[in-house]
Amino acid sequence: MVCTGQRPPRRSAQRSGEAAAVEHTLTDQLVDDHTILQVVVGSRAFGLSGAASDTDRRGVYALPASAFWGLRKPARHHDGPLDEQVRWEVERVCTLGLAANPTVLEVLHSPLVETCTPLGVELRALTPAFLSRRVADTYLRYATAQFGKAERGIARTGVPTWRHVMHLIRLLTAGGDLVRTGRLVLDVGVDRDRLLAVKAGEVPWAEIVTWRDRLVSRMTADLATSPLPDQPDEARVEQWLISVRERSVRCSA
């Protein structure tokens, strides 16, 4: 978002209406123009990539405030145009981040940054405000539900989706480290080889269950002494979001 401080030429009522309509219909170009942050996540950010790995891109766009004034609201996310590319509107990112959504937290912490505007820099600097002890509940609930699906897959076909199981263990490990240290690190580090062995189906299911249970127990035990606050700083996040909208109005005035 660029604001020169100069007033643009006055548009006719018809042209203003046309522009408002365009803002409600997301296009690749519109989202590109308003993207404030785009990062690489997935296996490349986790240190688990191979030669054939996809490049998973996630991003944040901040639409003009006027896009939300009418009855028809723009979509809160946009897929593409690149393969494995998803971007969310900044308000949605704030909401999900405050709820300790693992996917959004990984976007905000990815070291592989492709696009970062001044607003993106501000959002990245805001990441501590999203972190709280809520992450333990969010990560544990998600992992428990997904492990249940994996077990049902074993009952149905004899094997789970090993790649998915690998990422569940990775998620529990990252969540446990976050609870214990207050920092979210995406790279799996020394666990890489063992996680890739899980992905290849080379680790017995009973051993994986033991690994999972140990991670869950440790995260639960560490919660009481976690450096994270009990709640995220919602007021700080909301004030920043309001400032984004206010600056959008000033830029278009």
pLDDT of the residue at 19: 43
State whether 138 and 201 are in the same domain.
yes
Coil, strand or helix: which one is 86? strand
pLDDT of the residue at 120: 97
Q: Residue 11 pLDDT more than 60? A: no
pLDDT of the residue at 159: 87
pLDDT of the residue at 8: 33
**What predicted TM-score, i.e. pTM, was given to this entire model?**
0.85
State whether 212 and 247 are in the same domain.
no
Q: Residue 220 pLDDT more than 50? A: yes
State whether 120 and 156 are in the same domain.
no
pLDDT of the residue at 15: 39
pLDDT of the residue at 195: 97
Q: Residue 43 pLDDT more than 70? A: yes
Shortest CA distance to 101 belongs to which of 144, 146, 135? 135
State whether 21 and 126 are in the same domain.
yes
Which residues form the domain of 164? 134-225
Task: Report pLDDT digits (tens) over 54-78.
Answer: 899 999 999 988 888 888 888 888 8
State whether 66 and 106 are in the same domain.
yes
State whether 26 and 119 are in the same domain.
yes
What is the mean pLDDT of the segment spanning 86-95?
A: 96
State whether 241 and 139 are in the same domain.
no
State whether 198 and 245 are in the same domain.
no
Residue 118 located in a structural domain: yes
| Tokens found for residue 228 | 């994270």
What is the mean pLDDT of the segment spanning 79-96?
A: 94
Q: Residue 122 pLDDT more than 90? A: yes
- For the chain, the average pLDDT equals 88
Q: How many domains does the chain have?
A: 2
State whether 21 and 121 are in the same domain.
yes
Residue 9 located in a structural domain: no
The total number of residues written for the chain in this structure:
253
Calculate the alpha carbon distances from 48 to 51, 55, 85 in Å.
Answer: 10, 12, 19
State whether 106 and 145 are in the same domain.
no
> Could you tell me the CATH number of the domain that includes residue 86?
3.30.460
